[in-house]
Amino acid sequence: MADLYPTIAQCAVVAAALKVLLFPAYKSTDFEVHRNWLAITHSLPVKKWYYEDSSQWTLDYPPFFAYLEWLLSHLAKYTDQAMLNVKGLDYTSWQTVYFQRGTVIATESLLVYSLYKYDVTALFRTAPKLGLHVDEAALNSVTRGLVGDTSFAVLPEISPRTTFTLTLFFQSIGLIRLFFQPTWDTFIGAVSLCGYASFLFGWHVHEKAILLILIPFSLIALKDRRYLGVFRPLAVAGHVSLFPLLFTAAEYPFKIVYTIFWLVLFLLVFDRLAPVSQRPRINTATMRISTYGKFAIEDQIKSNRLDSRESREMTLKI
């Protein structure tokens, strides 16, 4: 039975091959984001990294990631020096594309068995200890590099220490079981649960973080209907929650048609392939994830309707 499941190395090779085939494909805004960060860390002193705002894509990731960009920038200069110009906004070339996508594959390959992700955004609070002066004017800027605090009017204030404690506690549940049962299923389950804990309780969470749950979970979703029952509403809600990343009017019909096509194919094919489990279904988990998916989808539909109405109003004004 174990022979039916690929190894981590095999998954990494297949993923890398697919990404190489997609080198000439569509580039998202992240392409310019990381090009600008390469330019900032290569061309400016450390104390100016988080205050450079020539581009709207200011450096707003933790210092560890900034130093990774700095290391990669020293390789980038041998590929295309022009990409490291801070003022070269929206610069692109085939050399830049190949470098950016090649380094993504290379860095991901270094993380095999190390898919575990820690949230270190709270390191921004240690900026003074690193010798970085915090400019109050920059914190109030629209294109700020440092992440500002949010104060709630009704909800209680949540500190980074609280989110770290909650994340670590819920991640430890899957990790403890993995320690005593180091199998393929428990490994994938632990990776999925760790991603889920980070997504729910992390201090700084991006929409794309849902992929840290969906991608590993999909490797065991067809094991039996217990897994599929939990994966189904989570996958639907997760895909819909990524809609804000494709925010232009031209992209709207494509994301709707693609999601509907995927949903129909997914429900028909996966439901036939997943065998009936010999163990009882986890109804409480399925119910909670279904509720999360329901509210996530409803909220996204309302948000899309509001955005469409605002776009029409702006068009009429113009």
Q: What is the mean pLDDT of residues 89-115?
A: 81
Categorize the per-residue pLDDT at 118 as very low, low, confident or very high, splitting at 50, 70 and 90.
very low
Query: Has residue 64 got a pLDDT over 60?
Result: yes
- Please report the pLDDT score of residue 169 as a whole number: 93
Share of the chain above pLDDT 70, in %: 71
For residue 110, pLDDT over 60 is answered with: yes
Please, what is the average pLDDT of the chain?
76
For the residues 11-34, what does the mean pLDDT come to? 82
Q: Is the pLDDT of residue 181 over 80?
A: yes
Question: pLDDT at position 105, please?
Answer: 85
Reported as a single tens digit per residue, the pLDDT across 220-272 is: 888 888 888 888 888 888 888 888 888 778 888 888 888 888 888 887 888 88
* pLDDT average, residue stretch 70-79: 92
Contacts of 150 (CB under 8 A, 6+ apart): none
> Residues 185-191: what's their mean pLDDT?
89
Express each pLDDT in 281-294 by its tens digit. Answer: 554 444 455 554 55
How many residues make up the chain in this entry? 318
CA 154 – CA 281 distance, rounded (Å) = 38
Note the pLDDT of residue 208. Answer: 83
Phi and psi torsions of 213, nearest 5°: -100, -50
DSSP code per residue over 291-312 = HHHHHHHHHHHHHHHHHHHHHH
